[in-house]
Chains A and B, each alone.
Chain A
Amino acid sequence: MSIFRKTAIAGLLASVVFAGSAFAGEHLSLSGKRIGVAVVGTQHFWDREAFNGAVATVEALGGEVMAVDGGRDNQVHADNHDILLAAGVDAVISILGDGAVEPKFEALQDAGIPVFTVDHPSPFSVNNTTSDNYYMGTTIGRYMADAIGGEGKVAVFNAFEGALRICGIRAGLWKYVLADYPGIEIIQPELAEEFANAPEDARKQTLDLLSQYPEGTLDAIHVGCWDQPAIGIVQALEEAGRTDIVVTALDGGPETLEIMAEDGSPFVANVAQQPNLIGSTSAMNVARYFAGETLLPQTYVDVLPVNGQAEAKAVYAELGYGTLD
């Protein structure tokens, strides 16, 4: 077990213990409060789990939840904040979202409704709860570079580097690490995946990419900010019989850990997040805010790096997704 793994697990345990003691010791309560929870979509594991974690914790703390779902449409997600504003909730937990939500956060702040974000740093948010995106970006950079022996051609799906700050951090630090590997070349132009229908879209784009880069001319495909496109990428590599190409991604949801755990899988490295704990931590922060505590602008929740098949199986079990054999 790597030192990173040990650190990550220690961090995980610490955060669980901390969360538990917070429930019991601090006597946090959201009783009598109505908390709006806005999530960009509930189709994907990450979004759904962060949402479920936030909702369950608000309810466990005695609060009432008003939930709105953007259906994986960023504009609908942004509009949903207007509904929370009109309904006069006591606080808003906003999960993901692009630049379209910023004016909505500002309007909520002006109306005296505190905004707590998940994976979306914003000047109008009291606190943003997120994974350690810096660690995610550098770790996946190192793992990918190692997996291709420190040199080769890499294609990257990177639609959100400029649009979402968390993706800017992850993809930016991945590139920062690769700058020290002069033998690694990132293919230009970078690919842009769809937000709503990512696996199927990435599958088609990968098949096109493979026809452009015949065997021996492409070494890795990386997904810069999340893991859904990787599902389609692996499918395309298997269809084309090109599983010598290495796949890396971030988020480490159960679907992609399962793919990594398969024998001979091209999907070799990932960094797993704990979306349920992130949502739950954000809800705890809302309660801390109402209890008069001063919150730091960012709360980081630990991540679990996943390097190779064996670690995929181990992390899958550790995060409570079940067992893979």
Chain B
Amino acid sequence: MPMPASARPESGASGLSRIIDAAPLVIFLGMLIYIGFNAPNFMSFGTMQLVLNQSVPVVVVCLGLSIVVMAGGDDVVSGGIDLSIPATAVICAGIIAQLVTNTDTPLLLAIALALGAAMFIGIVAGLMVTRLGMTPLLTTLALFVAVVGVTKVVTSSRRINVDDPFIIFLRDGEILGISAGVVITLALVLVFYHFIHRTKWGLNLQAVGGSCEAAEISGLKPGHFLFWAFVIAAFTGFLASFFLLARGSGSSPGTENNLMLEMVLATFLGAAFSPRRVVTLWGAVLGAVLVAALSIGFKTMGVNVFWTGLIKGSLILVVLALAALSSRVKS
């Protein structure tokens, strides 16, 4: 049957957009397969578990960032973004390490104080953005700097070892043969997923972020949701601190920068993998795991350490460029 003339260009465009759509995932999978063939032992259960293990703290803070982006909209400057989460994670880790190791405070009390600090940061961020109307990007960047500063005071900028059995369990323990950290993180992801996608409050939060005006017309208060998104994000920072302590067997200064970089990369890379190019929980989780897989892959392949950063950065730029191109082709 001859195709109507008017349909042809459209089908060409959608074919092109389908190819561009699939490109980010194809590139990443292609890279991983290439690494698999060239890196010894990469395609093994041990390495897969290692990838998941190492991505755990990033996955947890990505949950927080995705929720803020969902509530505030995905414009990087004016929308929702929270760069302070890694600083919250680092200060909570610092508080727990300092109190447990250097002052013999019971773990539970140290945890309670860390939680208090995290909630304070979340509330401050939320109020500054929603009540004072400050730009989230700059507000949370400034908070990041301030909180890291306080962390230095708390820990005297020194390394603190932690050998509490609970933290050691998170590091070495296994649940059903899988690393405890990975299992607990998976459970957290499922809880957050349920909360955001299966509860009325979560769906309203997404509606507010999707279209602020439409949400207001239907009686929702965008400020309310964005405020709580910041508080939840700070809570994910608090949760991530346990995995930081476990990973490092204590608190080492200077962890926050890499964590922030990977959190932002993973979350927005995740958007490139989602069909609608929006930040999603699963996208962020996938982004975090893929970034970890890629870094471990390059290291396993023995890529010259002086080049790894450039290769990783370029690859991510290509994926994001394709995502941008795809949106343009569609519109």
> Taking beta carbons and an 8 Å cutoff, which residues of A are in contact with B?
34, 39, 42, 51, 64-69, 71-76, 78-80, 82-83, 86-88, 98-100, 102-103, 159-160, 162-164, 189, 192-196
Contact = CB atoms under 8 A, between A and B. Distances in A.
A75 B252 contact: yes
Q: Which 7 A-B pairs have the closest CB atoms?
A: A163-B159, A192-B157, A69-B305, A74-B252, A100-B248, A75-B248, A98-B159
Interface of B: 39-42, 44, 46-47, 50, 53-54, 152, 156-159, 161, 171-172, 244, 247-250, 252-255, 257-258, 296, 299-300, 302, 304-306, 308-309
Contact of A195 (B44, B250, B253, B299): B253
A98 B252 contact: yes
B247 A71 contact: no
A64, A103, A193 interface centre (most CB from chain B within 10 Å): A103
Contact of A87 (B39, B161, B257, B304): B39
A72, A99, A164 interface centre (most CB from chain B within 10 Å): A99
A192 B42 CA distance: 40
Given A73-B257, A74-B252, 7 more contacts: A82-B54, A87-B39, A87-B300, A100-B250, A103-B172, A159-B157, A162-B159
A74 B156 contact: no
22 contacts: A42-B306, A67-B304, A69-B305, A71-B258, A71-B309, A72-B254, A73-B254, A73-B258, A75-B244, A76-B258, A78-B247, A82-B50, A99-B159, A99-B252, A100-B159, A100-B249, A159-B156, A159-B157, A189-B156, A192-B152, A192-B156, A194-B157
Contacts of B308: 69
A211 B244 CA distance: 37
A34 B189 CA distance: 38
A195 B254 contact: yes
Contacts of B299: 66-68, 80, 83
Contacts, number: 106
Contacts of B161: 99
Contacts of A39: 305
Nearest to A69: B305
Contacts of A99: 159, 161, 249-250, 252
Nearest to A79: B54
Contacts of B257: 73, 196
A196 B158 contact: no
Given A86-B46, A86-B47, A74 B248 contact: yes
Contacts of A34: 40
Contacts of B47: 86-87
A100 B253 CA distance: 11
Nearest to A161: B158
A66 B308 CA distance: 13
Contacts of A65: 302
Contacts of B39: 87
Contacts of A83: 50, 296, 299-300
A50 B289 CA distance: 32
A80 B298 CA distance: 12
A87 to B, nearest CB: 5
B158 A162 contact: yes
A82 B41 contact: no
A237 B152 CA distance: 24
Nearest to A100: B248
A159 B158 contact: yes
Contacts of A80: 299
Nearest to A192: B157
A24 to B, nearest CB: 28
